[in-house]
Structure 1
């Protein structure tokens, strides 16, 4: 291969990576709005396609049949699973994809560390002719650790979201034990970078995988949005570090974008749950709190009365929560909203940042049902409107609408930003029973004078409300 040809190919690779990075940025920017998120995903996907094909231009690329086979298999599996996955199972898929990204980064680190090991120990005296530098070794170990933690932690998160692990595993001294495992992983990682002994490298990976499991086992389902965004950040950082190890600019740029976005999202989600980042990283968060005694009683109501209240209201706000996803009631709720809109009622959907089991869970469900983006409001925008709202319909949300978060300093959710549904003129809560929310405390909203409880399955009650509205409209 001539020097000129080599220069041209190298230039083409660099130019392609620059184009890919630009497409990544455009895609990320368009993902900031629900109205342009789909096109943002396409732009980012195109960027990854450009980066992938550019990699084939790299000089000295080996194992082409194996690489092509892996690409084809990965593409087919992703396409089929993406087409088949139910919208209610999207959190599980996101968790798995996070884990796959982290696992890929960890695999790169493992291969590179073992390759460096073979270079060192193949030479008498253990000194390689041209070994890696300290920075490369450090980033290989760091990326491997973060990627392995993300892999095993995401698998546990998937199992919890999928109902395969229903219980939180908590034991005395858990945080201290996790800290010991983390410290042991750091020590083995440093030893692996210095000695490059295969046995030490393997032990380091075992501890990293174990740490991911231990970090995620005590976490409950309601905290999964924070967990998923955290592991998303981990995966991005791991990919970026391993990109430096490989000297691949596209991996560095893409990983840093994902990592930065994930860190920002984790901060926002933790703030929305009133948790410090240190609590997310090291705390056994998601635990149950002491139930609070609240005077009064929950007051039931029938679907016909609720339909009449909403039909003759001027403003209605619908507040979805995880129960909406469980009941798969998003289509019926949108049908209900459409009927109200046809009657001249002003309808909005209020979304809490951590409602559901992944970041943007409620937004995804409502978008799948066809709810226009301009009818969806976030917490900061909708809270000032609740005092002027005639009826707020809460379906499947609990802790994120509990007013004790503002009024009771002893409450485990005190200080958590909430949707101010309690300020509404009338509140209707669709709920299966009288149980507490994830935090294990009573919801003062359910006992308020202006709150009525519509007991039953979310989808069934939404269907009943639609039927009652039809009856009010003369059966049309």
Structure 2
């Protein structure tokens, strides 16, 4: 039985690796999810029915196990089917938080088991893994819940005076408590353990609380890596290869993505860890100057401008997701190509509310993957572009990131759309973007504003193009 169980774990581990590889391209991403899900299902079933058979101590609480599986499956399925694309980031944060909570609960349960066995029998290695799982899982859980609340608008950004120093103190306190617990200092282990839990939860809350605006994708990616590392601790704890593999894959992938996001935002990973994303500048600092006047453009003029262009770039943003306009955007792209216009998409790494948000959005509409250009590639082509159509993007095209040292997004690499001949910006209003600052681009001579819901505007553009 043990050999079959290990074989199941091996198959599960392989499917995780294959599934992750398949996620690297939209054409195979759906299958990659199914492959990884199959491996997880196999590992769960094998654990339930085969674990402990050879030692004579199999699992026996089948009612609780299958009851939990049934509830989780129903809730997860309904949530996944009903979630809107605009709500996807907060759902990702919530589900990621649940993973951190699982790692936290595993550490609590196993610590209590060790205490009942007698503190003198606690191995330092096992205790270290339990403590690490507790700290990382708790930070991930608490931070993800705050991120979920901030993304759905129920929690506002709160910058606490001296917040960086407080975070340093909390981290130092967590380390000291963990060392005392490992060293067997004579202090009640329960007190040390649950004090560590409390400080880790407080740190998770405080390091995410002040973060807002375009920095949120970095936080989601970082918390995702935390959950993976916490899950890997559980794999070490239970000597479970498939849990270990899954945790390592999530942790390493999340860490790499976090570094990429930090580079895209021009932030250091150190600032992420101490909760200092965005620096100490306020949102109002970048929007306090006189901007002048903006000019509007009609649907007809926009359609004519694009129809007779050689190259058009479309810049998708959160407004496109809110309007659920990705399908009509693809229709616009096809109509322009029929008229001989070269159409490409410029994708900023942190556009939207989570890493890859725009890629997922456009893949849903079957936009060819090769048309999606990352920021560096797109920036090289804007100087030869006739028209840039910006759909709901804001902070990722704001020239203040390059020109205004007082702006809270100063130093962030952006899509340099101002290099194009003509810029058309579709927004509902002149309201600032997620970072809460005015966009200098809207007042540039090359820029024209096309107000309205993205889906409605695109539908009207499609109608105009068909009549040209």
In the other structure, the counterpart of 2:153 is 163
Structure 2 counterparts to residues 334-345 of structure 1, below 5 A: 334-345=330-341
Structure 2 counterparts to residues 48-87 of structure 1, below 5 A: 48-56=40-48, 57-59=50-52, 60-62=57-59, 63-87=61-85
Contact preservation (8 Å) 2:214, 2:395: no
Counterparts of 1:274 and 1:211, CA distance in 2: 24
Give the drift of 1:27.
Answer: 1.0
In the other structure, the counterpart of 1:227 is 219
Counterparts of 2:407 and 2:97, CA distance in 1: 34
Range moving further from structure 2, 325-334 or 136-145 = 325-334
Contact preservation (8 Å) 1:96, 1:154: yes
Secondary structure of 1:36's aligned partner: helix
Structure 2 counterparts to residues 171-182 of structure 1, below 5 A: 171-182=160-171
Counterparts of 2:406 and 2:89, CA distance in 1: 32
Determine whether 1:35 maps to 2:27: yes
Q: Deviations over 1:207-230 (max 9, x none)?
A: 222221111111114222111110
Q: Deviations over 1:77-130 (max 9, x none)?
A: 21221112122211111111110111111111010011111111xxxxx63xxx
Normalising by structure 1, report the TM-score: 0.90
Determine whether 1:185 maps to 2:148: no
In the other structure, the counterpart of 1:274 is 266
Counterparts of 1:105 and 1:177, CA distance in 2: 25
> Structure 1 residues 178, 298: CA separation in 2 closer, same or farther (over 3 Å shift)?
same
In the other structure, the counterpart of 1:326 is 322
In the other structure, the counterpart of 1:99 is 97
Unaligned runs of 5+ in 2: none
Give the drift of 1:441.
Answer: 4.3
Contact preservation (8 Å) 2:286, 2:408: no
Contact preservation (8 Å) 1:116, 1:196: no
Counterparts of 2:188 and 2:36, CA distance in 1: 37
> Structure 1 residues 399, 379: CA separation in 2 closer, same or farther (over 3 Å shift)?
same
Give the drift of 1:400.
Answer: 1.2
Structure 2 counterparts to residues 183-332 of structure 1, below 5 A: 183-193=172-182, 194=184, 197-286=189-278, 288-289=282-283, 290-291=285-286, 293=289, 297-332=293-328
In the other structure, the counterpart of 1:396 is 392
Give the drift of 1:465.
Answer: 1.9
Give the drift of 1:296.
Answer: 5.1
Range moving further from structure 2, 330-339 or 283-292 = 283-292
Give the drift of 1:155.
Answer: 0.9
Secondary structure of 1:347's aligned partner: strand
Secondary structure of 1:213's aligned partner: helix
Range moving further from structure 2, 199-208 or 100-109 = 199-208
In the other structure, the counterpart of 1:152 is 142
Give the drift of 1:386.
Answer: 1.3
Secondary structure of 2:286's aligned partner: coil
Counterparts of 1:218 and 1:432, CA distance in 2: 27
Contact preservation (8 Å) 2:212, 2:435: no
RMSD over aligned Cα, in angstroms? 2.0
Secondary structure of 1:470's aligned partner: helix
Give the drift of 1:439.
Answer: 4.0
Counterparts of 1:158 and 1:295, CA distance in 2: 34
- Among 423, 427, 436, the residue aligned to 2:423: 427
Number of positions where the alignment pairs a residue of Structure 1 with one of Structure 2 = 455
Q: Deviations over 1:144-182 (max 9, x none)?
A: 1110111111111111111212x2111211222222223
Contact preservation (8 Å) 1:161, 1:221: no
In the other structure, the counterpart of 1:89 is 87
Contact preservation (8 Å) 2:210, 2:275: no
Contact preservation (8 Å) 2:15, 2:38: yes
Give the drift of 1:294.
Answer: 6.6
Counterparts of 2:431 and 2:16, CA distance in 1: 45
Give the drift of 1:368.
Answer: 2.0
Counterparts of 1:294 and 1:309, CA distance in 2: 29
Unaligned runs of 5+ in 1: 1-8, 121-125
Normalising by structure 2, report the TM-score: 0.91
Counterparts of 1:10 and 1:402, CA distance in 2: 59
Contact preservation (8 Å) 1:239, 1:252: yes
Range moving further from structure 2, 243-252 or 104-113 = 243-252
Counterparts of 2:435 and 2:250, CA distance in 1: 31
Give the drift of 1:141.
Answer: 0.4
> Structure 1 residues 101, 173: CA separation in 2 closer, same or farther (over 3 Å shift)?
same
Counterparts of 1:441 and 1:10, CA distance in 2: 60
Give the drift of 1:408.
Answer: 4.4
Range moving further from structure 2, 50-59 or 87-96 = 50-59
